[in-house]
Every structure is written in C-alpha cells, then in structure tokens.
Amino acid sequence: MYDSGKIIVGLIIGLILLSFPFWYNLGTAPAPAPDPKLADKAKAAGQCIEPKAQMRTTHMRILDEWRDTVVRDGERFYVADDGKQYDMSLQNTCMDCHSSKKQFCDQCHGYLGVDPFCWDCHIEPEEK
C-alpha cells in the first residue's frame, strides 16, 4: 500500500463528516414541545372534525382531500366519522376555531420544521 497514509486520513475525515450530526447536538436539550392555543370557540366545541390524535397526524391529508373534492367535484360538505356535517373550508371551518395562526398553526409547524403551502392560495388570517 503506497498511499495508505492518504487512505487512512481520508477514512478519518469521512467518519468525522458522517458522525457530525450526532456529536454536534450532543449535550443540548431538545426543544420543548409546542403548546398550541385554542380559541374560545374550539374549547366550547370540545372536539374537532375528527379525533385529536387523527387531526395531529392527518390534517394536511384531510385538507388536500377537501381541496380536491371542492375544486374538482364541486362538493362542499364533509361528513365526519361521528355523522356531523362540516363545510369543507380552511378559512370558514378550520380557522373559525383555530383563529390564531401564530399561536396554533405556526407553533407545531415551526417545531417540526415544515412549511405548509396553505397560504400560497389562502389569505393569512390577521392576528388580533
């Protein structure tokens, strides 16, 4: 092995670069989990269109399905698992109960590092 020194140095540099994300964050505390604030109307309702656990994981899928159903099929109403009927509207249904984008939506999306595309088409609600 004529270039064993270069190979060993290259392997060491490669291992350092590959392990960088692990040791860079070593000793730092994880960010606190978000605590989204519900509007008074949401607290009074006591439930969302679907159970809380389902909404945490699939709300974007539900909103995508709503968009496609309203735009492509012209249907405006959603029937939840419990039989209640809701208007398929981000601004009139969702933002009616979750009125503060900053205190509700942005907390979880910022924590997870995702940028929803809702506001590409919809008007962002004004913060009060």
Predicted pLDDT of residue 124: 83
The rounded mean pLDDT for the chain is 89
Distance between CA atoms of 90 and 69, rounded to whole angstroms?
13
pTM over 0.85: no
Question: What does residue 69 show for φ and ψ, rounded to 5 degrees?
Answer: -65, -40
Cα 38 to Cα 54: distance, rounded to the nearest angstrom = 17
> What single DSSP character describes residue 3?
T
Contact (Cβ atoms closer than 8 angstroms) between residue 116 and residue 109: yes
Report residue 86's pLDDT band, with 50, 70 and 90 as the boundaries.
Answer: very high
C-alpha closest to that of 62 among 83, 93, 37, 36: 93
Q: Which residues contact 1 (CB under 8 A, 6 or more apart)?
A: 7
pLDDT band at 1 (very low <50, low <70, confident <90, very high): low
Please name the helix (run of DSSP H) or strand (run of DSSP E) that holds residue 33, with its range, or none. none
Predicted pLDDT of residue 35: 87
Number of C-beta neighbours around residue 50 at 10 A: 16
What gap in Å lies between CA 72 and CA 81, rounded to an integer? 23
Query: What is the mean predicted confidence (pLDDT) over 18-37?
Result: 85
8 Å CB contact between 64 and 94: no
pLDDT above 70 covers a percentage of the chain that reads 98
